[in-house]
């Protein structure tokens, strides 16, 4: 157990809908990163938040957005869902050394 929790564990949405995924970071960690992992692939970096500010972004469109709260928990929001958004969404928290501790993930299915 890494101490990183994600909710919900599974989610089913339809095309065009919006979704919010949540992540609670490990105690003492001020950085949260979000990844999308399609079936059979490695995780793809979406973005990172450090002390409530976006601190880097991967190659994802603006309909992927996020927030980090004062307690360092974080949300990932995806608007206008597409079928290809179906994936496992992972968050990872890290402290001063960039060793990332991953949560169990949220499996999103878009129908």
Partner 1 sequence: SQQGEEDPQALSIQEGENATMNCSYKTSINNLQWYRQNSGRGLVHLILIRSNEREKHSGRLRVTLDTSKKSSSLLITASRAADTASYFCATDLNNNDMRFGAGTRLTVKP
Contact between 4 and partner 1 by CB under 8 A: the answer reads: yes
* Nearest-approach distance from CB 19 to partner 1, in angstroms: 19
Distance of alpha carbon 39 from alpha carbon 24, whole angstroms: 24
Distance of alpha carbon 111 from alpha carbon 98, whole angstroms: 36
In sequence order, what are the residues at sequence separation of 6 or more whose Cβ sits closer than 8 angstroms to the Cβ of residue 62? none
* Nearest-approach distance from CB 49 to partner 1, in angstroms: 10
> Where does this chain bind partner 1 (CB under 8 A)?
2, 4, 31, 33, 35, 40-45, 48, 50, 55-56, 58-59, 88, 90, 92, 97-105, 107
């Amino acid at each position: 157990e890494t101490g990183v929790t994600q909710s919900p564990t599974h989610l089913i949405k339809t095309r065009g809908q919006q979704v919010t995924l949540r992540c609670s970071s490990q105690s003492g960690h001020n950085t949260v990163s979000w990844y999308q992992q399609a079936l059979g692939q490695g995780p793809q970096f979406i973005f990172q938040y450090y002390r409530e500010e976006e601190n880097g972004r991967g190659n994802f469109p603006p309909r992927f957005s996020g927030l980090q709260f004062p307690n360092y928990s974080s949300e990932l929001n995806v608007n206008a869902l597409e079928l290809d958004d179906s994936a496992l969404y992972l968050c990872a928290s890290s402290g001063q050394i960039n060793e990332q501790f991953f949560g169990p993930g949220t499996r999103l299915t878009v129908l």
